[in-house]
Structure 1
């Protein structure tokens, strides 16, 4: 017996199949995570702290001013925003030579940043290499731009070595290489020698090397940013987002730093006036208050490290994390654990890797709820495991 919801979904699926859809899209599932309203939503790596009141007021005022000119197109070059992003990155990464606004590009979330890069440098007859398990959108970017997607390999502990990365790039000769650091879903960060090895290995095929640093602000002290490697490397791109550390997931602002000619290439594929005046205004106001927003980053890092410590004490296998989440293994049944947490009002992410789950580091209260619920689940599982043994 099927439910009305299941019947409706089946009918929609049949109607979709009747459309003249591109063949490579048939049977595919859209990207998405469960959207459920529960007390602790720790599944999509948002900042769970509210935006500070003074920042809300600043964004509101800046957007109000922008609203008086919405009858006009926005600044196509988002000049003021690029200048503020360049200043922020130069300060945040302690770069010896400040970045210029000409080295910055921005779009509606880092997803559109990646789409622009793929449209300019990948496409039909070209290939893209990334290293699963990693961000699940990379193959979708490739599919959407008619690019061949190549799934590389990681070590058993999900790390990457310079030698392995370089060997795979030389073997496959991709046009675009994506290195995710810190990696999603594992939280592992790359040393700069991995990025350098990837860049050098891509010389023969003139591969564009993207370092996706969406979680860069959460990295451990002493973990460097690939921004340090930009000088003299015209094929290197470092991608960032304001969705995570800036608590601006609803604002949709992603950006990158690269050689100025990379931004010139992306102008060839962007849609006209792709960044609205409202988006530019909200992002500029958030950048003006970056120090207040970064205070929450430190609180999140404290809870992240607490999660790693306490999961280890529970006998689980949490991976070291440079992100705002923790990837952990050692579960007997990850789906049962996920369901138990959900019933306790805690939503985390099943990333499809057996015996593993991923949890966002939230507030102290949310973290406590997660840890207590999981501890109860493990305690209840132990007698059953002993009985089966």
Structure 2
């Protein structure tokens, strides 16, 4: 099966030869103190950030789990739907969860969201920008309204930017000690298996987050591969362009082939979100043809199927499969 269910990169960001070279140069017999510092400096330089406003962990999932430990004792609030592991880690640590439901078209209402924050006063509000699983970018006014309401209630705002680098859009990011963004090298960097998650905030908040940091949160090889990518900017940006081109192709295929018979949401990510009465039929047909899309058990998402990017040749085959299915209707 061709996996198009995990939002992973279908192609590696480095050649096997380069990876072997980095492995040979990695001192596995030493703790990765220097590797850690080099990575943080490289990430900060690439993104024009203060190194002291960055902390790293074993994937952004570890950050989410740490927020459940550190950010107050009250409920966690998120959107519904959003990344399922927000709720998963909250349940692990017995933190109450409050979810703000979407509209029927999977958009979110600003007034309803703000009202929920004011009513429940969450210790922190976490959401993905762009949204996972819909792929939609939240507006500046929506994000700022959440930030203002959370600040008024004395909580934290966590913005998960896992897919932001796929987007052609930007957004006005709120600032302050109570605002944290998390990022990952799993998506557009193509390093899902290396588990590198980055938190960005003020120096005060990073110091607080590091109060429960592991001495060496990420292994030497992951850090060295990440540092190599970040310090070879031209090659990395070329790889980003290839990833975005695959994403654009995926969206084009669905928009031009089946958007007249199923709902295909505009996406600012590396996946496409489809729903409606015909969407499950298409998902089943695609699975019969050797592709594995993302299906959902949640009642709200029972008619939803999501598709991530694939290699160029696989996208061409997927396009043919979509045309076959469309012709049968």
TM exceeding 0.5: yes
Between the two structures, name the one with larger relative contact order (CA 8 Å, sep ≥ 6).
Answer: 2
Matched length? 323
Aligned equivalent of 1:309: 255
Q: Which runs of 5+ in 1 are unaligned?
A: 1-37, 91-98, 383-389
1:4-52 per-position Cα deviation (integer Å, ceiling 9, x unaligned): xxxxxxxxxxxxxxxxxxxxxxxxxxxxxxxxxx2x2111011112334
The residue number in structure 1 matching 2:36 is: 78
Distance 1:364 1:282 in 2: 25
Change (3 A) 1:77 1:141: farther
Distance (Å, rounded) in 1 between the aligned partners of 2:43 and 2:317? 36
Q: Distance in 1 between matches of 2:277 and 2:309?
A: 19
1:182 to 123, 130, 140: 130
Measured at CA, do residues 377 and 52 of structure 1 come closer, stay the same or move farther in structure 2, by a change above 3 Å?
same
2:158 is equivalent to residue 196 of structure 1: no
Please tell me whether the aligned partners of residues 307 and 361 of structure 1 are also in contact (alpha carbons under 8 angstroms). Answer: no
Residue 44, structure 1, aligned to residue 6, structure 2: yes
Shift, 1:58, TM fit: 4.0
TM-score (normalizing by structure 2): 0.90
Displacement after TM superposition at 1:85 (Å): 1.4
SS at match of 1:178: strand
Residue 358 of structure 1: CA displacement?
A: 0.4
1:260-306 CA distances to partner (integer Å, 9 max, x unpaired)?
12211122222232222222112111222322321222322321331
Q: 1:351 aligns with which of 296, 302, 312?
A: 296
Change (3 A) 1:340 1:170: same
SS at match of 2:32: coil
Q: In the TM superposition, what is the alpha-carbon distance from 1:149 to its structure 2 partner?
A: 1.0
Match of 1:272 among 215, 218, 227: 215
Q: Do the aligned residues in 2 keep the contact of 1:166 with 1:201 (CA within 8 Å)?
A: yes
Cα distance between partner residues in 2 of 1:164 and 1:83: 41
1:152 is aligned to 2:100: yes
The change in CA–CA distance for 1:193 and 1:260 in structure 2 (over 3 A counts) is same
CA separation in 2, counterparts of 1:331 and 1:106?
Answer: 42
1:259 aligned to 2:209?
A: no
Choose the corresponding residue for 1:62, options 1, 14, 22.
22
Within the candidate set 262, 285, 290, 1:340 is matched to 285
CA contact (8 A) 1:327 1:359 kept: yes
Q: Alpha-carbon deviation of 1:216?
A: 0.7
Residue 360 of structure 1 and its aligned partner are, at CA, apart by: 0.6
**2:79 pairs with 1:139:** no
